[in-house]
């Protein structure tokens, strides 16, 4: 079943947290000269037109990226991310919002390499046309969970894997943990980030417990809830589970998570979590 289309949600609070973390990981990876490999298991279309009918349906970006565009008090990592979005919108108006492949592309050097998986028959060609050069990015219409097995370890020996499934099928919750284990077994020094939604506390905690049960070390959790889970149905928040995070990320998150939970709050139950699932 592939009914999920990310364009309906582009630029919302969950995208902000996810893409901010992606941006910080890339910033860290490109501090060293050595090339890196990026695997996006669920890549989406790469760039989202906010004037499209789909993005306009709920205008989720309005309570996400739009709230940050004009702020003058952004913590530094967030300011750098918002600048990245502004670079893609030279007319000052927010026309497009980047997906994870385009966030990574911002940091890309000639020697780095992307492998982008997207299964949706309509979304795959859009992503492929955004990255036409095979030298830069391999765009494949393949199951991203399988790519964790076929593409790791990368020849570059340095890498970042983003797993961002839609979770519209409940088995994604198990598959993402299994893929993490399989990837880590093949390439233990890589950085892995798993995005997850907070629809209800129990389901999110089950995922966090399953990650903890893998006993993979050095795993940091960043979670941002813009409202309480009990007030209404839908996504109250989201989180990023990061294995082998940049050593600076925890400190940076101490500034940007409180800021985001304040500025993006929908009610007084907005809160965040920042903790190690397993220490180093």
Q: What residue ranges bind ligand SAM (CB under 6 A)?
A: 2, 4, 6, 18, 40, 42-44, 99-100, 117-120, 123, 143-145, 164-166
Task: Say if residue 120 carries a ligand binding annotation.
Answer: no
69/119 with CB nearer ligand SAM? 119
Q: Closest distance between ligand SAM and the C-beta of residue 127, in Å?
A: 8
User: 100 labelled as ligand-binding?
Assistant: yes
Binding residue per annotation — 19? yes
Concerning whether 269 is annotated as a catalytic residue, the answer is no
Calculate the alpha carbon distances from 218 to 53, 189, 232, 274 in Å: 42, 11, 34, 14
Of 164 and 223, which has the nearer Cβ to ligand SAM?
Answer: 164
Between strands 37-40 and 159-163, the pairing is parallel
Number of C-beta neighbours around residue 176 at 10 A: 25
Residue 215 CB, nearest approach to ligand SAM (Å)? 25
Minimum distance, C-beta of residue 123 to ligand SAM, in the bound complex (Å) = 5
Pairwise CA distance, residues 183 & 159, whole Å: 11
> Which residues, in sequence order, are bridge partners of residue 242?
193, 220
Give the dihedral sign, CA 164/168/169/173: positive
Strand partners, 276: 220
CB of 146 to ligand SAM, least distance (A): 8
Q: b/e per residue, 188-227, with b = 16+ CB within 10 A? A: eebbbbbbbbbbeeeebeebbebbeebebebbbbbbbbbb
For residues 244 and 190, the answer to whether their CB atoms sit within 8 Å is yes
Q: With beta carbons less than 8 A apart as the criterion, state whether 212 and 194 touch.
A: no
User: Residue 193 or residue 247: which is nearer to ligand SAM going by CB?
Assistant: 193
Residue number with the smallest Cβ distance to ligand SAM: 99
User: Which region holds residue 59: left if phi is over 0, alpha if psi is between -120 and 50, else beta?
Assistant: left
Q: Is 143 annotated as a binding residue?
A: yes
Q: Which of 112, 123, 164, 172 is catalytic?
A: 164
Question: CB of 19: closest distance to ligand SAM in angstroms?
Answer: 6
Tell me: is residue 184 an annotated ligand-binding position: no
Between 43 and 257, CB nearer to ligand SAM = 43
Altogether, the residues listed in the chain come to a count of: 280
Closer to ligand SAM by Cβ: residue 34 or 51 = 51
Binding residue positions for S-adenosyl-L-methionine: 19, 42, 100, 118, 143-144, 164
Q: Active-site residues: which are they?
A: 164
Binding residue positions: 19, 42, 100, 118, 143-144, 164
């Amino acid at each position: 079943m592939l009914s999920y289309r990310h364009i309906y949600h582009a630029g919302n609070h969950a995208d902000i947290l996810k893409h901010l973390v992606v941006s910080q990981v890339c910033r860290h990876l490109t501090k060293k000269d050595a090339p890196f490999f990026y695997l996006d298991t669920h890549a989406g279309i790469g760039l989202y037109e906010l004037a499209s009918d789909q993005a306009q349906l709920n205008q989720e970006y309005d309570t996400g990226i739009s709230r940050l565009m004009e702020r003058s008090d952004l913590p530094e990592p967030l300011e750098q991310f918002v600048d990245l979005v502004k670079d893609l919108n030279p007319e000052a108006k927010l026309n497009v919002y980047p997906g994870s492949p385009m966030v990574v592309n911002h940091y890309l050097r000639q020697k780095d390499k992307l492998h982008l998986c997207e299964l949706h028959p309509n979304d795959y060609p859009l992503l492929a046309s955004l990255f036409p050069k095979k030298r830069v990015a391999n765009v494949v219409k393949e199951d991203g969970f399988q790519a964790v097995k076929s593409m790791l370890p990368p020849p570059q020996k340095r890498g970042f894997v983003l797993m961002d499934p839609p979770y519209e099928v409940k088995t994604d919750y198990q598959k993402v943990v299994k893929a993490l284990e399989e990837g880590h077994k093949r390439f233990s020094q890589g950085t892995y980030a798993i995005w997850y939604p907070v629809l209800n506390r129990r389901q999110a905690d089950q995922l966090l417990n399953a990650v903890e049960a893998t006993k993979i070390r050095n795993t940091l959790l960043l979670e941002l809830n813009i409202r309480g889970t009990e007030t209404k149905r839908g996504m109250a928040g989201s989180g990023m589970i990061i294995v082998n995070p940049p050593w600076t990320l925890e400190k940076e998150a101490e500034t940007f998570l409180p800021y985001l939970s304040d500025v993006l709050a929908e009610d007084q139950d907005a809160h965040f979590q920042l903790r190690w699932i397993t220490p180093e």
